[in-house]
Chain A
Amino acid sequence: MSDMNFDEDLSGEGKKEDKPKLIIDGKRLDGRDFEELRPIKIEAGILKRADGSCYLEMGRNRVVAAVYGPREVHPRHLQDPSRAVVRYRYNMAPFSVEERKRPGPDRRSVEISKVSREAYEPVIMKELFPRSCIDIFVEVLQADAGTRTACLNAATVALVDAGIPMKGLITSVAVAKVDGKLVLDPMKEEDNYGEADVPFAFLIRNGKIESIALVQMDGMMTIDEMKKAIEMAKKGAMQIYELQREAIMKKYHAEDIEE
């Protein structure tokens, strides 16, 4: 132990040697500014059988969310007599990534499912539906970094589409550090070769960010950078929030006219 050198400077070491440059002339590889989101497309109510559903594209991510419930809990012993049980299943299609992913839950998706569920649990008004469950299923059809954030954004719209009462909307976006700079909503290359990745999800109520529903991080960042990252994420989240609202309005507005 005594002969080990802990004063060695680690910045710029390790996996970063042979990485491509990710910021060229102040622009990102796909031409975006540092604080710019990827193009987002959201459509509510795209599945017939589910009680609520949503299709979402965020850059090259393509995800589908479906909500079933409130419905009976199976297996029954999971029932809670005082509130609804919330379940969240994040799943990647085998063809969603470069190298085929073995079907079924792996450790990564188990963890993502857990933290995502924990983001919704305090937001969904579970007390209104005792002994029942609300199932949220999200499927990643094509992955290009930030799938958990894309899925959360889709799940929110699907929950609203299913008519589940909530205290507000969950909106999620990540911030990464690449080539020493903070960037919003990283894409695959930035995620792979970047120095840090921080996915956030916020509870937005009445058009205002109220609290943090999810935060994870891996990589290396100073305390100051972390504080800047959250500011950047909040701005991005507000833009996504508007798109989520638009998607919901669009579906329900159209239905009104038909009547």
Chain B
Amino acid sequence: MGEEILMDIKRDYVLSRLRDGERIDGRKLDEIRPIEIETNIISKAEGSALVKLGDTQVIVGIKMQPGEPFPDVPDRGIIITNAELVPLASPTFEAGPPDETSIELARIVDRGIRESEAVDLTKLVIEEGKNVWMIFIDIHALDDDGNLMDASALAAISALLNTTVPAERFGLGDDFPLPVRNLPVAITSLIVNDLYLVDPCRDEMSVGNKLITITSDKNDNIVAMQKSGSYLLKEEKFYELIDVSVRKAKEVREILKEI
């Protein structure tokens, strides 16, 4: 109950500040929180990254192993993305099998990577039709201060950029760096009445779950999109959101290029 009252107070606060055109943390409407990326923090993993997006923290680990390809694409490696919203990351997360939020999170991150063809899967074939490299992207939330989506997508591509294919361990020749050739970046915005807040923090989320995630690639193509939350989106807003998301993704991509 206390939590609910607190949410009401936060919502009023967020809305009253917005009436003056301000966000509660002083950011501009389209300003993303400071980003910190640390890579190769888990030596047991083939690749890893810890991303801090403001106070939101996500760790992504990449594990790889040989396995059978999907029958319809015998000449491609495989990507499997999974997200765990572990209870240590938020008082509202519960242990147990993945719920719809974590499934959606994993699938949006997966689509960004897959559809931008960020990983050259054709270079991950060991024996066509029989044996290919499987990439497991595991998203592990550590601290949910809002927008786990963008933090997870960023951590995933950061980790992939620093992944070494463990060929030696499986007696398949020399290790080699994972061929990554695109940089998808997801940008999530929270819709509040006639405004949208890019990269919402947890307190801003108290106004409701009206989100849209738009992922774009290095050529400013849109590669994935998801409206998430119970709300109706105006068409004009949709156009604006596409433009702002692609523009903000460009900014984030510059940070990504430096890691």
Q: Which residues of A are in contact with B by a Cβ distance under 8 Å?
A: 1, 4-6, 8, 10, 13-15, 107-108, 110-111, 113-115, 117-118, 121-123, 196, 198, 203, 209-223, 226-227, 230
Determine, out of B55-63, B88-96, B132-140, B228-236, the stretch whose residues face the partner at the interface.
Answer: B228-236
What is the chain B residue whose CB lies nearest that of A220? B221
A218 and B230 form a contact (CB under 8 A): no
Binds A, one of B165-173, B177-185, B194-202: B177-185
Interface residues contributed by chain B, number (CB under 8 Å): 48
A4 and B204 CA atoms in complex are apart in Å by 38
B225 at interface (Cβ–Cβ under 8 A)? yes
Q: Please state if A110 and B103 are interface contacts (CB–CB under 8 Å).
A: yes
Q: Which residues of B contact A215 (CB under 8 A)?
A: 212, 225-227, 233, 238
- Nearest A-chain residue to B221, judged by Cβ: A220
> A220, B238: Cβ atoms under 8 Å?
no
Whether B85 is near chain A, meaning CB under 8 Å from some CB there, is no
Which of B183, B222, B228 is within 8 Å of A221, CB to CB?
Answer: B222
Could you tell me the distance between the alpha carbons of A84 and B100 in the complex, rounded to whole angstroms?
20
B-chain residues with CB within 8 Å of residue A230 when the two chains form the complex: 235, 238
The reply on B25 being an interface residue by CB < 8 A is: no
Q: Is the CB of B233 within 8 A of A223?
A: no
B100 touches A118 (CB 8 A): no
Chain B residues with CB under 8 A of A223: 220, 222, 242-243, 246
In Å, the complex CA distance between A117 and B257 comes to 38
Say whether B115 contacts A219, CB under 8 Å. Answer: yes
Chain B residue nearest in CB terms to A9 = B219
Q: Which of these, B103, B181, B234, B242, contacts A8 with CB under 8 Å?
A: B181
- Docked complex: B210-225 residues within 8 A CB-CB of A: 212, 217-225
Cβ-defined partner of B100 (8 Å) among A1, A113, A211:
A113
Q: Which residue of A lies closest to B100 (CB)?
A: A114
- Contact flag A6-B182 (CB < 8 Å), given A14-B117, A215-B233, A223-B220: yes
Q: Chain A residues near B222 (CB, 8 Å)?
A: 217, 220-223, 226
Determine if A203 and B232 form an interchain contact, defined as CB atoms under 8 angstroms apart.
yes
- Please name all residues of chain A whose beta carbon is closer than 8 Å to the beta carbon of B224 when the two chains form the complex: 217-218
User: Residue B188 at the A interface, CB < 8 A?
Assistant: no
Residues of B within 8 A of A221 (CB): 221-222
Closest 3 CB pairs of A and B: A121-B230, A217-B225, A211-B232
- Assess the B232–A6 pair: CB atoms within 8 A: no
With a CB–CB cut-off of 8 A, which chain A residues contact B259? 1
Bound CA–CA A115/B229 (angstroms)? 7
A15 CB contacts on chain B under 8 angstroms: 73, 76
B182 touches A122 (CB 8 A): no
- Whether A216 touches B225, Cβ cut-off 8 Å, given contacts A122-B231, A211-B234, A230-B235, is yes
Among B73, B100, B122, B219, the residue within 8 A (CB) of A10 is: B219
Q: Which A residues touch B117, using CB under 8 A?
A: 10, 13-14
B227 and A216 form a contact (CB under 8 A): yes
- 16 pairs across A/B with beta carbons < 8 Å? A1-B162, A1-B259, A8-B181, A10-B219, A15-B73, A107-B103, A110-B100, A118-B231, A123-B232, A210-B232, A213-B233, A217-B226, A220-B115, A221-B221, A223-B222, A223-B243
- Known pairs A110-B103, A212-B235; A220 contacts B116 (CB<8 A): yes
- Asked if A1 contacts B161 (CB within 8 A), the reply is yes
Contacts of B231 in A (CB 8 A): 118, 122
